[in-house]
Amino acid sequence: MPQDTIREDVLFSSVRELGTRLRQRKISPIALTEAYLERLQKLGPRLNAVVTVTRELALKEARAADDEIRAGKIRGPLHGVPYGVKDLAATRGIPTTWGAEPYRKQVFDFDATIVRKLRDAGAILVAKLAMVELAGCFGYSNADASFSGPCRNPWNTEYWAGGSSSGPGAAVAAGLVPFAIGSETSGSIITPAAYSGVSGLRPTYGRVSRHGAMALSWTLDKLGPMCRTAEDCGLVLAAIAGRDRLDPTSVARPFTFPEEKKGKFRIGIIKNATQGIQPQVRENFEQSLKVLAKFADISEAVAFPSMPFGPVVGTIVNAEGASAFRDLIERGGMQELRNTQLRHAGYTASTVLAVDYLQAMRVRTKMKRTLDELYTKFDALVAPSRGTVAYPIDQDFSRAYAQFRGGPPIIPAGNIAGQPAVSVPNGFGPNNLPTGIQFTGRAWSESRLLAIAHAYQQATDWHTRRPKLRAE
């Protein structure tokens, strides 16, 4: 097998392309892994994107993949492909810090199911990636919310990569890994995907086992892929989806990718989706709609239900999070966190009344029903992933872009209902920062959403753009 020097171009290839080259033995898993390890070491610190480079494990897994591929034993499209995981998934013998100082030395003696599944698929773990401490739990005020420092956006390092899956977003965008695993409770995959200019999939709640992942909100937490393309998200999801007896919320529901063609896509544009958002985000969204109109039936101005999605998701996260982190809160450990707001927000969350939590969960049932009814008519509803480009590193979120707070609460709504969403890049806005479009759909409709996002990417090239980054 040729042990070629891996060019930078190769490191920005999609998972699909890398898999093909690996199976054709044009590159070896060892050379590929070494190249990513080098890039992680060089550029990871500049972006604050990496917590631990898992060199020893990675090389061991790469050698195993190399042996198997040489022997013609191919495990699937991820075989020999390196990846990074948000540092909230347990990895045996390697620190799992949850991005937070109080857990900096935490080491588990088992692997999260998602890590095990990816290993079984032949993927190679090269890094534990940075995240907002405790996945942002009760709300954080600015990008400086991780013991590893604010994760910088590869497109403009004065800006944030998004959160709470900051490292996965930045690392994929910067070509430090070809794909990564992030998590979303409410917005933590879609936001960094949009801000960092990568493709991110928030799967349906229950699609992917969360065993071994940090719990923030048991009824909201999801794990999902962040990749260069929507197609790659499908390949990764196929490897990680499925029932796991260690996570009782996981479901044995078939996920087939790519889906069988089912006729023209039916896409709805959410009414007022561009009201009160940054002008360049709006322009890029409007351009995207023109592209979608070439291969889909478009319905305009689809009214989004007016329900208190934000308050419901906030109440649920506060109540469940205060319970999940009760030990830390009660022993005063929140004071060790980096973000000043997070240091005390857990005390506020601890006062949520049980009756208010239950009321939120009852309203949630109604919301789920209402949203499902709306989504029955469409394969996807679309909107800008975020109303603005990424926030500056040095400013509180409340101060930056204060004039752009518009758009319906699509992210909290989708998370409350457990629905999937895909965000893909659709252009650039101020300060050379990426923007994204999100495709949201009914529960278990990932194949359809990914097919639409893939069709969009076939017609555009935003996902192929690369940031200019140099190691200092």
Partner 1 sequence: MNLRRNRRQFLKGAAAATLLAAPLPAPIQAGESRAQQENAAPTPAEALTALARARFGRHMTEEQLKSVQRGITQSLSSADTIKRTRLENSDEPDFVFFADGP
Closest contact distance (angstroms) between CB of 396 and partner 1 is: 13
Nearer to partner 1, 312 or 324 (CB): 312
Binding of residue 398 to partner 1 (CB under 8 A): no
In whole angstroms, what separates CA 86 from the centre of its chain? 9
Closest contact distance (angstroms) between CB of 292 and partner 1 is: 32
Q: Site residues for partner 1, window 210-269 (CB under 8 A)?
A: 219
Binding of residue 271 to partner 1 (CB under 8 A): no
Contact range with partner 1 by CB under 8 A, out of 17-25, 260-268, 295-303, 355-363: 355-363
Binding of residue 397 to partner 1 (CB under 8 A): no
Nearer to partner 1, 40 or 360 (CB): 360
Closest contact distance (angstroms) between CB of 308 and partner 1 is: 5
- Considering only residues 70, 73, 264, 366, which one is a binding residue for partner 1 as defined by CB under 8 A? 366
Binding of residue 101 to partner 1 (CB under 8 A): no
Q: Site residues for partner 1, window 320-339 (CB under 8 A)?
A: 329-330, 332, 334-335
- Considering only residues 312, 324, 424, 449, which one is a binding residue for partner 1 as defined by CB under 8 A? 312
Query: So which residues are the catalytic ones?
Result: 86, 164, 188
Nearer to partner 1, 193 or 360 (CB): 360
Contact range with partner 1 by CB under 8 A, out of 164-172, 364-372, 394-402, 440-448: 364-372
- Considering only residues 37, 118, 307, 337, which one is a binding residue for partner 1 as defined by CB under 8 A? 307
Binding of residue 361 to partner 1 (CB under 8 A): yes
- Considering only residues 76, 149, 308, 406, which one is a binding residue for partner 1 as defined by CB under 8 A? 308
Closest contact distance (angstroms) between CB of 307 and partner 1 is: 7
- Considering only residues 20, 256, 359, 431, which one is a binding residue for partner 1 as defined by CB under 8 A? 359
Nearer to partner 1, 220 or 277 (CB): 220
**Where on the chain is the footprint of partner 1 (CB under 8 A)?**
219, 307-308, 310-312, 314-315, 318, 329-330, 332, 334-335, 341, 343-345, 347-353, 356, 358-366, 368
